[in-house]
A and B are shown apart, each in its own frame.
Chain A
Amino acid sequence: MSTFLVVSALVLLATIGAGLVRVSRGPTAADRMLCAQLFGTTGVAALLLLAEAYDRPPLRDVALIFAILAALVLTVFVKHAAIHRHSRDGA
């Protein structure tokens, strides 16, 4: 069972690698940031799998932090973009 879980985590790692193509290609800023978010969700899943496979409960805490911080980064990104637009419109 644990081998299966580790292999699953490896596949998820591979999808992160593939997603990098979209980050570098863009073309929109949303694409890039969203991929960072995607890595968050995928990372959460991989961590949960590893926590079970290696029997390391603290990794579930790491996964929870990933999920919370992904929300923060994305929010700051959107704010950054929104303010940028405001300053352009206001000027």
Chain B
Amino acid sequence: MIGLEVVFDVSVAVLLVVLALESLYTPNLFTSIAFFIAFGLVMALAWVRLQAPDLALAEAAVGAGLTGVLLLDAAREIAAVRGVERTPRSMVRLTSLLVAAGVGVALVAALLEVPPRAAGLAEAVREALPLTAVEHGVTSVLLDFRALDTFFETAVLLLAVITVLVLQAHQHVRIIPWELSASPVLSGLVGLLAPVVLVFSGYLLWAGTHAPGGAFQAGVLLGAGGILLELAGVHTVSRLPRRALRWLLSLGVAGFALLSGTLLLAGRGLLELPGAGARTIVIALEIAIAVSVALTVVSLVVGSNLRLEPPEQEP
């Protein structure tokens, strides 16, 4: 009798592979994006099976939502949507198949070498958890043990959003109005959803101190809410003064930089949090990260479509 768990795992795995195949090899790019969105949803289920609820939260918002939104938006503009896309030459295809198959075989060989049971760092984290400012393992890794990684992650996000905004600033083409032409039903939905999103992302931020959740999940969700508002024509982020937007986008990096500078001046190690007040510091950092992640997400999606001039009327 095969266990129920195994059936579940294998179903999720098979669905993932099928969805990946479909989204990679469907000739029609639009269908491919639809499959990719479904792929993100099933990825979230895979994270659930791997007991990684933090990742499931992030994937539900990013993989299944925001990446799909970005792709749909770009596909609208770029002409290579179908037909015009060239199929690869058979030589290229053969080589790529061989390379990919070789890498795959090597990885499987490596996988077979991996011991099926390993201690990892779970024990170490659990032991050190009382020493940190928070009670949730993933959050303590992100903002305490490995805060340096998170520092640089916020810097990467800032870099990406700078890329998008700079590119947008140098476009002289007509920018298509981004919001949906006024639909009362949509505005109604946004009106109802926006407060839910706001409260819920606050809840996720708070939950991060002791349960799955945290700055990134909260920020991404808040960003999704901001995008919904922009779509309904309620301009929040795109109406922000440029200077304020810049500051808010760099709030996460600035927070980390300020903290590490202060700590270094105080004679402590880089990002070595003081025992007293560590919790306050971590929560303040989380809020800063969540705000800049949210604005980054909105800018990444809407930024490529921002209007340079005051809104022009739809034809």
Contact = CB atoms under 8 A, between A and B. Distances in A.
Interface of A: 3, 6-7, 9-10, 13-14, 16-17, 20, 23-24, 26, 29, 32-33, 35-36, 39-40, 43, 46-47, 50, 56-59, 61-62, 64-66, 68-73, 75-80, 82-84, 86-87, 89-90
B235 to A, nearest CB: 15
A1 to B, nearest CB: 13
B61 A65 contact: yes
Contacts of B35: 20, 23-24
Contacts, number: 159
B264 to A, nearest CB: 36
Please classify the interface of chain B as helix (H, G, I), strand (E, B), loop, or mixed, using the class held by over half of its residues. helix
Given A3-B4, A16-B42, A65-B60, 12 more contacts: A6-B4, A17-B18, A24-B35, A35-B38, A57-B211, A61-B57, A61-B207, A65-B217, A73-B69, A79-B231, A80-B75, A83-B176
A72 B65 contact: yes
B26 A68 contact: no
Contacts of A70: 65
A62 B56 CA distance: 6
A69 B178 CA distance: 18
Contacts of A39: 37-38, 41-42
B64 interface: yes
A79 B60 contact: no
A69 B44 CA distance: 13
A89 B314 CA distance: 11
Interface in B198-217: 200, 204, 207, 211-213, 217
Interface of B: 4, 7-8, 11-12, 15, 18-19, 22, 26, 30-31, 34-35, 37-38, 41-42, 44-45, 48, 53, 56-57, 60-61, 64-66, 68-69, 72-73, 75-76, 176-181, 186, 189, 193, 196-197, 200, 204, 207, 211-213, 217, 221, 224-225, 227-228, 231, 314-315
A63 to B, nearest CB: 8
A14 to B, nearest CB: 7
B53 A56 contact: yes
